[in-house]
Chains A and B, each alone.
Chain A
Amino acid sequence: MTLKDIYEWDKRNLERIKKFQLASRYKKVGIGMSCAAVITLITLKFTNSEPSWLHPLLKNFLLLGMLVVSISKEEIEDEYIVMLRSQSYRMAFLLGVVYVFVQPYVTYGVELLLKSEEASMDMTYFQVLVFMLLIQLLFFHVLLKKCHT
């Protein structure tokens, strides 16, 4: 295998990764997964006999569902839709970074007000990822809606 072959192989794979998206039918699958996870999480709030592994599993299932929606194509995925999608990812990334900086202080402030001795600045991966995926999906939806008018 020559250096040129390696370069070509690398270029081909990079292109494949860059263009990777799921078919539009997976959007409904993702919405279904997310809704099922949210409903189950809400139901578990009212039950006491919840196994310890179920809660994190459902949270991951919700994240996976949102990710599937996020990477599913539109019915017609043309260059304009691709541009709107990349705008929404950019916004999600920027706001996600701001969220990571600001949210622990907000949590700390609120906890300090409510229960002054146990205030912490904890933040989980779930909070950050859900926030970023929500922002991406909302921005993309809003930008797409704006085109209809």
Chain B
Amino acid sequence: MKNTLKVERAILDLTQDELAQKIGVSRQTINSIETNRYVPSTVLSLKLSAVFGKPVNAIFSLEEKD
């Protein structure tokens, strides 16, 4: 699973810490999602989608190996 979290964050000019605070998670969680170490739950994905104002599948997409 790949994502465009870093790009979306840059568009809104948000730091990892600010984004983490907005959705009530730790900065480590945002960092792990951005570096593809962690695939977030549906709830967290929907929260991210609400912050960026984009559908979930515009932020997250499947890769060949998935």
Chain B residues whose CB sits within 8 angstroms of the CB of A144 once the complex forms: 28
Cα–Cα distance between A81 and B24 once the two chains are bound (Å): 13
Q: Does A148 have its Cβ within 8 Å of any Cβ on chain B?
A: yes
A76 near B25: Cβ-Cβ < 8 Å: yes
Q: Does A1 have its Cβ within 8 Å of any Cβ on chain B?
A: no
- Closest residue on chain B to residue A76 by CB atoms: B26
A80 near B24: Cβ-Cβ < 8 Å: no
Query: Chain A contact residues (Cβ within 8 angstroms of B): what range?
Result: 10 to 19
A-B contact count (CB 8 A): 35
B40 near A148: Cβ-Cβ < 8 Å: no
In angstroms, how far is the closest chain A Cβ from the Cβ of B28? Answer: 3
- Closest residue on chain A to residue B28 by CB atoms: A147
A8-27: CB near B (< 8 Å → 1, else 0) gives 00000000000000000000
Residues from 21 to 78 in A contacting B, C-beta threshold 8 Å: 74-76, 78
Question: Can you report 30 residue pairs joining A to B where beta carbons are below 8 Å apart?
Answer: A74-B26, A75-B26, A76-B20, A76-B25, A76-B26, A78-B24, A78-B25, A78-B26, A78-B29, A79-B25, A79-B29, A79-B40, A79-B41, A79-B43, A79-B44, A80-B25, A80-B26, A80-B32, A80-B38, A80-B40, A81-B26, A81-B28, A81-B29, A83-B38, A144-B28, A147-B28, A147-B31, A147-B32, A148-B28, A148-B31
